[in-house]
A and B are shown apart, each in its own frame.
Chain A
């Protein structure tokens, strides 16, 4: 089946989901490790 003009192109949806999963994983790992805003609150 040709998905070139379909709104449900599986390759693009999977690529997009994979990219966002990577972004969310990296950001959450960074947040857990460094707690930057907690640092700000402690300094107040």
Chain B
């Protein structure tokens, strides 16, 4: 059963308080939760690569995207049910917390930074381990990983930025609605919708892209050796820096887009839709004591 809008947004702020209390009192635990969250996202990236390799485009151009989205969907579910940290979800939760004066702006930005660092470490480490496994060195997966890498890093800054905004608009709508219901089945369905929408919708997510782009970069030598004797393949060289086909080029504009989608179009909207008089009445009624105290 769905709860009232004011109770919902109050609980989102409560979650923000818990997360930022953890960051203040147990920063290593917070970093570890972000590490796990990054790895969980990479589980989805690995599965998406696995199921989309070799799918012929002439069968249906969107079929590979649909398959990727369907297997990626449960990444956010396992993050939410295990209380791990995903930086883009924290952007929405944190901003609701700032709205309700649970945390300050300084604490908000610090939490986002630590969450991003933890997510990056978890994602890159998992995918480095994965890229050492022989299964993904076979030709269909080598080609598919490289194809995804070239597509994402070959986009212009504006294309990446706009798809980054759309990504967190869909994903954080699902993440924030996770607390709208009480029963687990509804939570799973609502939460799975977010990653399904952004992956099948070909959007750009900063942590997912670390995974999608790190794999072809880690496997680039193997890929180049494999296609060296193919006359019809002209390999594109991916790199970690800025510029076309660069990891940093994609990451910079994805982060900038993601930072707007989940805040301006989700947190701000959800907070402002709630009647402030009813929310204030709920604050008075609940008399709920939260542990977080802002540092002066």
Binding site for B on A (CB under 8 A): 3-7, 9, 11-13, 15-16, 19-20, 22-24, 26-27, 30-31, 33-40, 43-44
Say whether chain A's binding surface is mostly helix, strand, loop, or mixed.
helix
Instruction: Name which of B61-69, B110-118, B227-235, B280-288 contacts chain A.
Output: B280-288
Complex Cα spacing A33 to B259, Å? 25
Partner of A43, one of B101, B272, B276, B287: B287
Chain A residues positioned under 8 Å from B158 (CB to CB)? 4, 9, 11-12
Q: Is B146 an interface residue (CB 8 A)?
A: no
Q: B263: CB under 8 A from chain A?
A: yes
Instruction: For A22, give its contact among B101, B264, B288 (CB under 8 Å).
Output: B264
CB neighbours (8 Å) of B102 from chain A are 37
B contact residues vs A (CB 8 Å cutoff): 13, 95, 98-102, 105, 156-158, 161, 242-244, 246, 248-249, 252-253, 256, 259-260, 263-264, 268, 271-272, 276, 279-280, 283-284, 286-290
What residue of chain B has the Cβ atom nearest to residue A16's Cβ?
Answer: B256
Interface centre among A5, A9, A22 (most CB of B within 10 A): A5
Q: Is B280 within 8 A of A12, CB to CB?
A: no
Which single member of A23, A33, A35 contacts B263 (CB below 8 Å)?
A: A23
The answer to whether B283 touches A40 (Cβ under 8 A) is yes
How many residue pairs at the A-B interface have CB separations less than 8 Å? 87
Does B101 contact A35, Cβ atoms closer than 8 Å?
yes
How many Å lie between the Cα of A1 and that of B123 in the bound state? 35
* Assembled-state Cα–Cα distance A30/B288 (Å): 21
Q: Which residues of B contact A22 (CB under 8 A)?
A: 264
| Given A11-B158, A16-B260; A34-B268 close (CB under 8 Å) | no
Q: Are B264 and A23 in contact (CB under 8 A)?
A: yes
A4: which B residues are within 8 A, CB to CB? 156-158, 244
A30 adjacent to B157 (CB under 8 Å): no
Query: Is B105 a contact of A34 with CB atoms below 8 Å?
Result: no
